[in-house]
Structure 1
Amino acid sequence: MHLHILGIGGTFMAGIAAIARELGHKVTGSDHVLYPPMSIQLQQLGIDVRDLDDSGQFFDHPDQVVIGNALSRGQTAVEYVLNQRLDYLSGPEWLARNVLPGRWVLAVAGTHGKTTTSSMLAWILEHAGLQPGFLIGGIPGNFPCSARLGHSPFFVIEADEYDTAFFDKRSKFVHYCPQTAVLHNLEYDHADIFDNVEAIIRQFHHLVRTVPGKGRILVNGQDRNIAKVLTQGYWSELQNYAVLPAGKSLAEQPADWCLRHSSAVDETLHEVLAVYYQQHCEVSLDWSIPGQHNAMNALAAVAAAYHAGVSTGRAVKALQQFVLPKRRLELLLKHPDVHLYDDFAHHPTAIKYTLACLKKRHGGRLLALFEPRSNSMRMGVH
């Protein structure tokens, strides 16, 4: 089958392209401008990509057109698809039809940390020998590509709350029907499609409704908006996780999964984290990745992997070899007087986390250059 992907340069759609190629399909695509790292991934896959406004982009008359959510009515490519009555569908729908049936889907949802947590989870399963499939909105540090089909029932997906397509305004994640769902955090974002945080809470509730009764929902027990999602109902096993605040005992922070900082950061920039499950210390993690948010990401990944049958000890061994995804605190230059990082943070909370962990790690003067790339930032909402 020949698939043509409109908006192929997006992180999600480039992942769809990689999996479609692995399934043996001919894949072509179009977009306006391609940027690394997805431009590099598409080039390595040998996929022919043309300009979105090129009248000849629909070469060889594709059997099916997969339309990204950045496309809208009035664009030349969209109008051509409709006028020529080509078979079309969204990326999430293509995935739900062709990849996810019969799979154990582990979906990571949340305003922040989806890419890193999904990468951690995929790597834990890989390290345990489970050879999962995955689709992640970035290039994981432990894998050469953002997506793959895998060789087991397990499939890890970064579950985005953004809308599906111009013809399907539901959040992408309602298509995935996960067996394991992680609700990591929830804040107001995507002001171009959501009027307020309550609208996002409603979409997360729709995700919860798709988890089977025999599935498991893992939630951040320290997030008030996630708690609001749960007040609307849930029908699956529920477990929560939390990072123990300094000075608090386990009894004061009840959670199924808990993480405690058991030693301070030393001169090697390592610290020891203790992972507790149901009030019992399971294992200690020798941890060197900066940021409280990344410790929380790790805990969520351990809890999700446990549901898939990976012991906490095995998960921790995997995390000790974990490499952050591209553009997540990515160290581009190391000099005695200068460290240059690239980070994707674009929400005020994520920016705060990034700056805080860099200040803690390096001290001294911190210069930050910020590009307001999200629609919410450009609209002046954040």
Structure 2
Amino acid sequence: MKSKKYHFIAIGGAVMHNLALSMVEKGYEVSGSDDEIYEPSLTRLQKAGILPKEKGWFPEKISHDIDGIILGMHARQENPELIRAQELGIPVYSFPEFIYNQSKDKKRIVISGSHGKTSITAIILHVLKNEGVDFDYLVGAQIEGFDLMVRLSDAPIIIIEGDEYLTSPLDRRPKFFHYKHDILLMSGIAWDHFNVFPTFENYTEQFEKLVEMTPSTGTFIYCEKDAIVKRFGETCEIEGVNLIPYNSHPNRIEDGKTILLDGDQEVPIHIFGDHNLQNLQGALYICEQIGISPQKFYTHIQTFKGAAKRQEILAKSDSGIMFRDFAHAPSKLKATVEAVKNQFPERKLIAVQELHTYSSLNKDFVSNYSGTFEMADEAIIYLNPKAVSLKKLKLMDEETLRDGFQRKDLKLFTEIALLKEYLENQTYIHTNLLLMSSGNYDDMDLTVLKEKINQKL
């Protein structure tokens, strides 16, 4: 039988190119287009033989022999390839619609929330893989031990990181509405995507609707430490639904290491911080729903190092650690700063935040960051004027940021060379450095910093 043929509009995106690669692996015929493709997408698509020959959009690529179009969020409604596909009556799928289409007959487990989604999903994937369970998945970051961010096979279950961001240029609903979950986990709600959800009430409403989509035979696992999520769980009126609240896993900290407490059993782990201990507890309950015993979970969690760019250690000595973290929204920043300081209370903490997203760069949103740097000994903000300009926003000054963050000694850098010089001139004795961003600090060279921290004894 002839394999099905799919064309990707905006194939270069992080998740889009991973889906394309997973479909090649499954035996589909795949083509695609994009106006910009960066690393690592470029090399990976090239290696798989599906890198577009030229950048841009080419309606002549769209013909009747294509079984479906997969439309990326980066494409616009007036995209010439999309218009051509619509003229020819070729089915157009958004990314989440296609994932659902491929997993209709599976048990669908969706991990949702403003924070912790990737970490919870990564923990579950790590445990299931080590236990030898056959499963499919969709995760929002590259996970150690997994070549792709997407797997579609004949496995009976799929673990999906459920993003609340918009589905596609044609569908302005959150992605997670499309997955039609059997089991739903919700970690917590803190206002994000200010450009899409202009009020907190509007943002919260999306999660409430998601809970209401839980089938009567389904399960809702919710973090009761978050007041809004707790309310969703406690007021859920879906008859027959299995409601499971969770909190931070019992633990203690000893010499900068976190140890899980389970009765008389003590389980040392690599990850730390209250949010991660909530994430871990939620992941444990998901695994139990799949048939993994707590004992097996504790065995496998000991080798979990964390998701990429989540409290990732870039340099380390007996005297200091350099962390990189994906934190960008206020709740994530606060949780990460507190986690590092609580883990190493005797060390000075230099916390640096690159404001990179539309929300974080908007002066009308910045007050949401109030108190997020509270536990840092030194608080630094990096703003790239070019990133601000591209988002058609006005560059905030130091005083505006100090008011927003409620931190009078906050330092602002708008040139990466000056920030690099400042950080390299610090003394990292009994000091941790935390770099937080969903961006990349303009590819700042960290070589000198790493050497400086690694050499301290």
Give the TM-score range, shorter chain.
0.7 to 0.9
Whichever residue aligns with residue 299 of structure 2, its letter is K
Q: Equivalents in 2 of 1:360, 1:37: separation in Å?
A: 35
Seen in structure 2, the aligned counterparts of structure 1 residues 282 and 92 have a Cα distance that, compared at 3 Å, is farther
Give the superposition deviation at 1:162: 1.1
Give the superposition deviation at 1:19: 2.9
- Report the number of matched residues: 357
Q: Is contact 1:327–1:342 with CA below 8 Å preserved after alignment?
A: yes
Q: Which segment drifts farther, 130-139 or 119-128?
A: 119-128
1:375 counterpart residue number: 358
Partner residue of 1:13 out of 11, 16, 38: 16
1:264 counterpart residue number: 253
2:72 counterpart residue number: 68
Partner residue of 2:247 out of 242, 245, 248: 242
Whichever residue aligns with residue 122 of structure 1, its letter is L
- The answer to which structure, 1 or 2, has the higher relative contact order (CA under 8 A, 6+ apart) is 1
Seen in structure 2, the aligned counterparts of structure 1 residues 88 and 150 have a Cα distance that, compared at 3 Å, is closer
Structure 1 residue 95 and structure 2 residue 99: aligned? yes
Matches within 5 A, 1:259-338: 259-261=249-251, 263-266=252-255, 269-275=256-262, 281=263, 284-334=266-316
Whichever residue aligns with residue 117 of structure 1, its letter is I
Give the superposition deviation at 1:74: 3.1
- 1:148-175 alpha-carbon deviations (Å, 9 max, x no partner): 1255312111011112112222211111
1:250 counterpart residue number: none
1:247 counterpart residue number: none
Seen in structure 2, the aligned counterparts of structure 1 residues 183 and 338 have a Cα distance that, compared at 3 Å, is same
Q: Which segment drifts farther, 57-66 or 207-216?
A: 57-66
CA RMSD of aligned residues (A): 2.7
Q: Is contact 1:202–1:229 with CA below 8 Å preserved after alignment?
A: no
Seen in structure 2, the aligned counterparts of structure 1 residues 119 and 44 have a Cα distance that, compared at 3 Å, is farther
Seen in structure 2, the aligned counterparts of structure 1 residues 168 and 320 have a Cα distance that, compared at 3 Å, is same
Q: Equivalents in 1 of 2:39, 2:245: separation in Å?
A: 36
Whichever residue aligns with residue 58 of structure 2, its letter is S
Q: Is contact 1:216–1:239 with CA below 8 Å preserved after alignment?
A: yes
Seen in structure 2, the aligned counterparts of structure 1 residues 12 and 309 have a Cα distance that, compared at 3 Å, is same
1:364 counterpart residue number: 348
Q: Equivalents in 1 of 2:304, 2:24: separation in Å?
A: 27
Give the superposition deviation at 1:26: 1.7
Q: Is contact 1:15–1:135 with CA below 8 Å preserved after alignment?
A: no
Q: Is contact 2:139–2:161 with CA below 8 Å preserved after alignment?
A: yes
Whichever residue aligns with residue 94 of structure 1, its letter is F
Whichever residue aligns with residue 253 of structure 2, its letter is A
Q: Could you say what secondary structure the match of 1:18 adopts?
A: helix
Q: Is contact 2:22–2:148 with CA below 8 Å preserved after alignment?
A: no
Query: Which of these two proteins has the greater Rg computed from alpha carbons?
Result: 2
Gaps of 5+ in 1: 244-258, 276-280
Whichever residue aligns with residue 260 of structure 1, its letter is P
Partner residue of 2:181 out of 164, 178, 181: 178
